[in-house]
Structure 1
Amino acid sequence: MLSILVPIYNYNVYPLVLELHKQCMDCGISFEILCQDDASKSSLNACNENVNALSNCSFVSLKENLAHRENRNSLAEQAKFDYLLFIDGDSIIIHDNYIKKYIENLHDFDVVYGGRLHPEKCPSDNQKLRWKYGRFIEDKSAANRKKKPYQSLLFNNTVIKKDCFNKVKFDTNRKKYGHDDTQLSYQLSVLQAKVNHIENPVKHGDIDNNLVYLNKTKESLENLISLYEEEKIDIEFVRLIQLYHFLKRTKSTFIISKMHSVLEKYLSQNLTEKNPNLFLFNWFRVGYLCSINQKN
């Protein structure tokens, strides 16, 4: 029936697994919960070892780092059931019918995405950028996500048929952070996989601080440009790439990159302080994209 796959890096996953285990037992389904720490060598793994005492559950701490894409692929290869539920180790289950709701909505679909929520209140000023972008841009209702079913997929809190996942998988040739979901979702759109969006969100628990998220954003934009240049995604699939392609075609990228070099220090200062502005964040993203083009 269901293989629940939980990639971890330096996080106490036991409370999450305990809740998932309880709900699976209550539903009376065949299941397994596979947790794999990607060689973090964290002291928290002492807590994670408790997962092995639960029926149909396992925790493994890898000796060598695979990186997040290969870690997910590795978990999928080990899975023995037909449906794979990918859920990140820092997720928080907020509904006691979470598993039941997925079971009720699997029929006739290759992929089912439940959504994600950020806390109503930001945990700290130092996490405001990631929190704002998550809460006001990424967090969407199922009705909203259904308007663009492929572009709205995030592979945390997603159930996918194993035979469907095996046709796409995460691209382990890429080493930089970001846009794994974009590439995988595009591949699913090419396959015309049947995608459903439901209201079954998890809460994002481990929110990056401002500087970490800004640096991750830079890396993810470099990955996005790489996907574009290698023609791994269609231009129309990503709005930011549509804009970049237009700017490149109109020979505007050089001007914007020069503007970005002047403004980058000011933008970075705003985005890493206690009240980051999402409009400035979007400008930063466009400017950085054009700067990558100039470097190459």
Structure 2
Amino acid sequence: MVNSLDVQAKAIKEPLEIIILDDGSTNSNITLELEILEKRPLVTIIRHAKNKGRLKSRLALANAAKFDWLLFLDADVLPCASNFLKQYFLETELSHPFVFGGVSYKDDVSPAKEFRLHWLYGKTREQRDVAVRQNNPYSTIVSANMCVQKSSFIQITSTNATSNYGTDIIFLEAIKQSGKNVKHIHNPVYHLGLEPIHRYLPKQIEALTTLKQQVEAGNLAAKERPLHKAYLSLNQFYMTAIFQNLYSLFSKYIMANLNSASPSIRCFDLFKLYHYSKLYN
């Protein structure tokens, strides 16, 4: 990714910097690669002793940045277009402090079975046309690829930073409550860092815990979260225990499906609803 950005930066001849945050990586290959990248004129490395979570890491990057606009990219993405940076530079001249380019998953790659659920979920729930995203600007935010005004980002993030997994919902709600303008454009990145299912599912459960904590703290509009709405519907009709018992009865088949080469997003929805409902037991 840095190579792609470096080439594009030289082409557009605009002042910029590339700041990379190492969030406590113990991988020797990553350490070596960062040492090589650090020798480049545009590149600065920030090192944390441990992983502080997405929001705290981004806040550290924002505070370290010299310029008024920030382009946040997750480490496991790659710009789709050769004019990726130029498109964002054009947006900084307008009045939208939050600009989201979108995310894409490669169609010509058939991931191994252990990565299939993450890939399918991304294509089904995260990869959306710009018109769809703009019609629902706050509920379709994917923060892996966004250009933001530094002052606005720090303002809404400094009071919401947490080290938990699944913090995009906090960030989304903070933008919405701030009333700041959001714009979606077609300037996607490929998401390449698929998680194997044995790591993906535990992270999803951790994200459910974060959701429950934020709902109970009053930081989220609970009825606007689809998963919490489904849980409330179960409770309203006294169906929670029945649903949990039915899920337990079929859990072996559901897990077999999620681990298969053709997982079902509906089964994944049931998996998340079950584990979310169990948090309230």
TM-score by length of 1: 0.88
Partner of 1:82: 68
- Give the Cα–Cα distance (whole angstroms) in 2 for the partners of residues 46 and 18 of structure 1: 16
- Give the Cα–Cα distance (whole angstroms) in 2 for the partners of residues 245 and 66 of structure 1: 32
- The yes-or-no answer on 1:223 pairing with 2:210 is yes
CA contact 1:151–1:182 (8 Å) conserved in 2 = no
Which structure ranks higher in relative contact order (CA pairs < 8 Å, sequence separation ≥ 6)? Answer: 2
Q: Which moved more, 1:279-288 or 1:198-207?
A: 279-288
How far is 1:250 from its partner? 3.3
Q: Deviations over 1:54-77 (max 9, x none)?
A: 222112433344333322221111
Q: Deviations over 1:95-149 (max 9, x none)?
A: 1000001111231101000000111133211110000000122100111101110
**Structure 1, unpaired ranges of 5+:** 1-15
Residues 150 and 292 (structure 1 numbering): CA distance in 2 closer, same or farther, change over 3 Å? same
Q: Deviations over 1:34-61 (max 9, x none)?
A: 0011111211221222222222211243
Q: Which amino acid aligns with 1:66?
A: K
Q: Which moved more, 1:53-62 or 1:229-238?
A: 53-62
Secondary structure of residue in 2 paired with 1:163: helix
- Give the Cα–Cα distance (whole angstroms) in 2 for the partners of residues 243 and 150 of structure 1: 20
Partner of 1:54: 40
How far is 1:256 from its partner? 1.8
- The yes-or-no answer on 1:134 pairing with 2:134 is no
- Give the Cα–Cα distance (whole angstroms) in 1 for the partners of residues 274 and 201 of structure 2: 13
Q: Which moved more, 1:61-70 or 1:282-291?
A: 61-70
How far is 1:153 from its partner? 0.9
Partner of 2:25: 40
The alignment covers a number of residue pairs equal to 277
Partner of 1:99: 85
Partner of 1:195: 182
Partner of 2:103: 116
Partner of 1:242: 229
- Give the Cα–Cα distance (whole angstroms) in 2 for the partners of residues 186 and 63 of structure 1: 29
- Give the Cα–Cα distance (whole angstroms) in 2 for the partners of residues 262 and 164 of structure 1: 49
Q: Which amino acid aligns with 2:96?
A: F
- Give the Cα–Cα distance (whole angstroms) in 1 for the partners of residues 223 and 50 of structure 2: 38
Q: Which moved more, 1:182-191 or 1:266-275?
A: 266-275
- Give the Cα–Cα distance (whole angstroms) in 2 for the partners of residues 62 and 243 of structure 1: 38
Residue pairs, 1:166-185, within 5 angstroms: 166-169=154-157, 171-173=160-162, 175-178=163-166, 180-185=167-172
Secondary structure of residue in 2 paired with 1:136: helix
**Structure 2, unpaired ranges of 5+:** none
How far is 1:242 from its partner? 2.0
Secondary structure of residue in 2 paired with 1:112: strand
Residues 217 and 124 (structure 1 numbering): CA distance in 2 closer, same or farther, change over 3 Å? same
Partner of 1:267: 254
Residues 47 and 109 (structure 1 numbering): CA distance in 2 closer, same or farther, change over 3 Å? same
- Give the Cα–Cα distance (whole angstroms) in 2 for the partners of residues 94 and 59 of structure 1: 24
CA contact 1:270–1:277 (8 Å) conserved in 2 = yes
Q: Which amino acid aligns with 1:133?
A: Y
CA contact 2:156–2:178 (8 Å) conserved in 1 = no
Partner of 1:146: 134
Partner of 1:12: none
- Give the Cα–Cα distance (whole angstroms) in 1 for the partners of residues 178 and 34 of structure 2: 37
How far is 1:161 from its partner? 0.7
Q: Which amino acid aligns with 2:68?
A: D
How far is 1:265 from its partner? 3.0
Q: Which amino acid aligns with 2:79?
A: I
Identity of aligned residues (%): 26
CA contact 2:53–2:164 (8 Å) conserved in 1 = no
CA contact 1:111–1:158 (8 Å) conserved in 2 = yes
CA contact 1:110–1:160 (8 Å) conserved in 2 = yes
TM-score by length of 2: 0.92
CA contact 2:113–2:259 (8 Å) conserved in 1 = no
- Give the Cα–Cα distance (whole angstroms) in 1 for the partners of residues 233 and 26 of structure 2: 45
Secondary structure of residue in 1 paired with 2:280: helix
